[in-house]
Amino acid sequence: MKYYLSKIGYFLLTVWAAITLNFLIPRMQPGDPAEVMVRRLTSKTGNMELDQNQVTAVRAMLGSPEGNLWTQYWHYLTELAQGHLGVSFTYYPFPVVEVIGNALPWTIGLIGVTQIIAFVVGVLLGAFAAWRRNSAFDSIVSIGSTFVGNLQSFWIGLLILLLFAYQLGWFPTAGGYGGYTSPGWNPLFVADVIAHAFLPALTLLITAPIGFILGMRNTMVQTLGEDYIRLAQAQGLSDRTVALSYGARNALLPSITSFAISLGALIGGSVLIEDLYDYPGMGRLLAEATANRDFPLMQAVLLFMIMAVLIANLAADLLYGVLDPRARKAA
């Protein structure tokens, strides 16, 4: 019980620190969102002068908290406790919760599926490469993973977009779905969504399994050198039983932590990839909020990302205590 209470205590402390940093970081950026909105509106009329009365009116319209930093921090905590995340500056007058609610399913569908596939493929390849260590397959997987892992996903996305979208024309170039389909659970719309998500998913799947492959291989190589592995082999157990029941099962524990962190990062999506393909997910939403100094939207997206990572880590720590009794004894 002490193990679980300590993990929950660290979790609560980290949540408070994350919420505080989430409040401070956007306000450390230069610029005023009200001024940005007024300049954007006045630039369309050809008037480049900034009217401070208009800035004050827009700031009041957007509900920007007044007072010093401590007053704003208390106001932020009060609103957060009540579940009020504010109104988006970029998508005014829509509330931040509604804006995130529209983008979140797209990110879960794209990043969630790719991370699950990457975890399964990475763990299987890493385990088999470790079992066949020093073989040609192990060399190809290890060297190939190291090489591909050093490539930038944004650069890979540009090449995939150029080849399959612009030159071959097999897939759409941008967006989540085409304007010729009506949103709903019908075969035409689902096929359209899959077609638009295929290239972003392919871009992510090229690099996403790398960490799982190398981590699983290195951990399992170390595990295969343990005494209980040699004892299982001496007892005449089959290679498959030793590899799966003794080697892979124990080497899988660190990969669970990596998978939990990757699932937590899914909330924020991949900012560069979603922006490259103009995919309507959380990543593109964060990029828009940062460019427009949209404090409420920026804070909400970052808060979702942070909380997802922390909850995923807490779940992994608690699962560790269930799967590995040594963790509870160490506590």
More confident residue, 117 or 131: 117
Are residue 118 and residue 175 in the same domain, yes or no?
A: yes
Mean pLDDT lowest for which of 42-51, 104-113, 124-133, 296-305?
Answer: 42-51
Most confident of 291-295, 306-310, 323-327: 306-310
Tell me if 123 is assigned to some domain: yes
Are residue 282 and residue 314 in the same domain, yes or no?
A: yes
Tell me if 227 is assigned to some domain: yes
Each residue of 188-245: pLDDT tens digit?
778 878 888 888 888 888 888 888 888 888 787 777 777 777 777 677 777 667 766 6
The pTM (predicted TM-score) of the whole model is 0.70
Are residue 273 and residue 219 in the same domain, yes or no?
A: yes
Dist. CA 169–CA 158, nearest whole Å: 14
* Averaged pLDDT, 275-301: 80
Tell me if 51 is assigned to some domain: yes
Checking if the pLDDT of 269 tops 60, the result is: no
Type of residue numbered 239: D
Dist. CA 210–CA 255, nearest whole Å: 12
Question: How many domains would you assign to the chain?
Answer: 2
Q: What is the reported pLDDT for 58?
A: 65
Tell me if 64 is assigned to some domain: yes
Type of residue numbered 197: A
- Residue 294 pLDDT level (bands cut at 50, 70, 90): confident
Q: Identify the sign of the CA torsion 181, 274, 264, 18.
A: negative
Domain boundary among 42, 63, 84: 84
Dist. CA 5–CA 172, nearest whole Å: 50
Checking if the pLDDT of 5 tops 60, the result is: yes
Tell me if 65 is assigned to some domain: yes
Checking if the pLDDT of 20 tops 80, the result is: yes
Are residue 66 and residue 37 in the same domain, yes or no?
A: yes
Are residue 64 and residue 111 in the same domain, yes or no?
A: no
Q: What is the reported pLDDT for 258?
A: 73
Contact 324, 253 (CB under 8 A): yes
Are residue 124 and residue 245 in the same domain, yes or no?
A: yes
290: left (phi over 0), alpha (psi -120 to 50) or beta: alpha
Percentage of the chain modeled with pLDDT above 90: 0
Contact 284, 103 (CB under 8 A): yes
Q: Where are the alpha helices (DSSP H) in 28-135?
A: 33-45, 52-62, 69-81, 96-107, 113-131
Tell me if 183 is assigned to some domain: yes
Are residue 44 and residue 101 in the same domain, yes or no?
A: no
Query: Cα–Cα distances in Å, from 27 out to 15, 64, 90, 228, 268?
Result: 19, 12, 17, 55, 20
* Averaged pLDDT, 138-153: 81
Contact 122, 218 (CB under 8 A): no
The domain containing residue 160 runs over which residues?
96-330
CA angle 134, 137, 143 (to 5 degrees): 80
Question: Residue 32: is it exposed, middle or buried by C-beta count within 10 angstroms (0-12/13-18/19+)?
Answer: middle
Are residue 65 and residue 110 in the same domain, yes or no?
A: no
Q: Where are the alpha helices (DSSP H) in 242-293?
A: 249-265, 271-276, 282-291
Each residue of 50-109: pLDDT tens digit?
667 767 766 665 555 566 777 778 877 887 787 777 777 777 778 888 888 888 888 888
Dist. CA 128–CA 126, nearest whole Å: 6
Q: What is the reported pLDDT for 224?
A: 72
Are residue 78 and residue 225 in the same domain, yes or no?
A: no
Tell me if 19 is assigned to some domain: no
Whichever domain contains 169, its CATH number is: 1.10.3720.10
Dist. CA 302–CA 24, nearest whole Å: 12
Are residue 144 and residue 122 in the same domain, yes or no?
A: yes
Are residue 218 and residue 241 in the same domain, yes or no?
A: yes
Contact 271, 287 (CB under 8 A): yes
φ and ψ of 87, to 5 deg: -110, 135
Are residue 71 and residue 124 in the same domain, yes or no?
A: no
* Averaged pLDDT, 174-192: 75
Tell me if 2 is assigned to some domain: no
